[in-house]
């Protein structure tokens, strides 16, 4: 996978670093946690290029999609790879992420319960992806039980349920800033606690901007009292975002391909969560028409749950992980604009400032401005 030449030099720990590099270069298909991997890889590249007579080259055909401990054929994509298509895929991905906030907010304020939405997200997707489950398997191998449980239900059930519950209390424009917008902050914190990883100064500035912007978005609602009970939604947004951050760190250490991670989550999320959701008594679809149910299946399961994964992975292959993650800065802005345009949500100058600050922080935290300069090989 690597082309390496190390003359007569003995570099202690080099093989371990390479193994760590392969483990950590894992793009998440749901969010922008890949920025942490790029930060680690950049430091790795700079360190190894200081070793005399050391030359390192990443083959052009090696994509981040199948960059795992054991190469996965399921992650490869034989599709045209032009920059224009990559940009379109990245824009479509962040649009879908914002649409999740808008569609879910509209649904829980209308004819669906949170439990019904999660059933429609899990079951159809699991049925469609069943052949892939059979081929790849549904057990996360080599993981402790706490980590395995997080891989099984963290992305597929816990995150969407908690965030969707938050959207029952607070506007989608708040959710865009406090859920996906806060992901880089929580992921950096989780990575520091779980792995000891420390971010660089530019990324720390971006993370501070995210935190300040999120506080502005949340606190003005509490003090102004514009939405009753919005603080409950804000707490749920932050909790869901934090849970996702823990999942993302565990996922990138697991060695799973994005596609394998998706089908594991769909299988166990459906198997374990569906009985619990049905037991609540809130899954009857009594107030929903068949047309509404079909539309919600297409949006929640096929577009938000599955299509976004492939678009994100495709964009990463063409644009690179850092540039693709930088597009995540558009998610809070799109959620703000969409909430105002389609859901008639209140937008104040202070809220716009907070969301803009979060978006700018996400862009800085992505690492796209910190790409290493090409090193000369010897």
CA distance 217 to 332: 11
Residue 298 pLDDT greater than 70, yes or no: yes
Structure tokens that stand for 194 in this block: 């779980």
Bridge partners, residue 57, by sequence:
3
- Average pLDDT (70-90) is 69
Give the pLDDT mean for 293-298: 97
Across the chain, mean pLDDT equals 80
Q: How would residue 224 be classed by pLDDT, with cut points 50, 70 and 90? A: low
**Rounded (10°) angle between helices 308-319 and 83-109:** 150
CB atoms within 10 A of CB 198: 12
Least confident window among 127-141, 146-160, 212-226, 298-312? 212-226
Distance CA 141, CA 139 (A): 6
In which element (H, E) is residue 6 found?
Answer: strand 3-6
What digits encode the pLDDT tens for the residues 159-207?
999 999 999 999 999 999 999 899 889 888 888 888 888 888 888 999 9
Q: Given a cut of 70, is residue 12 above it in pLDDT?
A: no
pLDDT at 67 over 60: no
- Over range 283-303, report the average pLDDT: 96
Using pLDDT thresholds of 50, 70 and 90, give the confidence band for residue 367: confident
**91-119 residue pLDDT tens:** 999 999 999 999 999 999 999 999 999 99
63-77, 135-149, 233-247: least confidently modelled range = 63-77
Question: 52 φ, ψ to 5°?
Answer: -60, 145
pLDDT value at position 226? 65
Per-residue pLDDT averaged across 6-28, rounded? 41
The yes-or-no verdict on residue 231 having pLDDT over 80 is yes
C-alpha span between 76 and 153 (Å, rounded): 24
- pLDDT score of 371: 54
How many C-beta neighbours within 10 Å does residue 64 have?
21
Grouping H, G, I as helix, E, B as strand and the rest as coil, residue 84 is helix
Q: What percent of the chain has pLDDT over 90?
A: 51
Distances (CA, A) of 227 to 74, 98, 220, 331, 335: 45, 21, 10, 22, 17
pLDDT reported for residue 220: 74
The string of DSSP codes covering 108-156 is HHTT--HHHHHHHHHHHHHHHTHHHHHHH-S--TT--HHHHHHHHHIII
CA distance 180 to 30: 9
């Amino acid at each position: 996978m690597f082309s390496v030449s190390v003359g007569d030099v003995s570099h202690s720990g080099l093989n371990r670093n390479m193994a760590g590099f392969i483990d950590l270069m894992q793009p998440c298909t749901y969010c922008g946690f890949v920025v942490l991997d790029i930060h680690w890889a950049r430091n790795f590249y700079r360190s190894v290029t200081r070793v005399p007579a050391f030359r390192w080259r990443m083959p052009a055909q090696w994509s981040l999609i199948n960059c795992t401990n054991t190469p996965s054929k399921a992650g490869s994509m034989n599709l045209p790879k032009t920059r224009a298509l990559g940009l379109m895929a990245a824009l479509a991905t962040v649009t879908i992420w914002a649409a999740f906030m808008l569609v879910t907010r509209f649904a829980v304020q209308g004819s669906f319960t949170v439990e019904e939405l999660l059933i429609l997200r899990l079951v159809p997707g699991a049925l469609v992806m069943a052949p892939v489950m059979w081929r790849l398997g549904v057990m996360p191998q080599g993981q402790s039980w706490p980590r395995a449980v997080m891989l099984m239900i963290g992305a597929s059930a816990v995150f969407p349920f908690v965030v969707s519950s938050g959207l029952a209390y607070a506007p989608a424009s708040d959710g865009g800033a406090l859920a996906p917008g806060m992901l880089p902050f929580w992921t950096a914190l989780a990575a520091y606690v779980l792995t000891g990883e420390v971010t660089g100064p530019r990324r720390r500035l971006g993370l501070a901007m995210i935190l300040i912007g999120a506080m502005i978005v949340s606190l003005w609602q509490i003090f102004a009292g514009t939405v009753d009970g919005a603080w409950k939604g804000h707490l749920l947004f932050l909790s869901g975002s934090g849970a996702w951050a823990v999942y993302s760190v565990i996922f990138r250490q697991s060695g799973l391909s994005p596609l394998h991670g998706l089908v594991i989550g769909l299988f166990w999320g459906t198997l374990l969560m569906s009985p619990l959701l049905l037991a609540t008594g809130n899954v009857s679809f009594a107030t929903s028409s068949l047309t509404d149910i079909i539309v919600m299946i297409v949006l929640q399961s096929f577009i938000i749950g599955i299509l976004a994964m492939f678009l994100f992975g495709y964009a990463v292959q063409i644009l690179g992980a850092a540039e693709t993650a930088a597009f995540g800065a558009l998610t809070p802005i799109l959620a703000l604009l969409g909430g105002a345009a389609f859901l008639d949500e209140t937008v104040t100058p202070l809220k716009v400032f907070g969301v803009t600050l979060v978006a700018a922080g996400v862009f800085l935290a992505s690492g796209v401005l910190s790409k290493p300069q090409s090193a000369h090989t010897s």
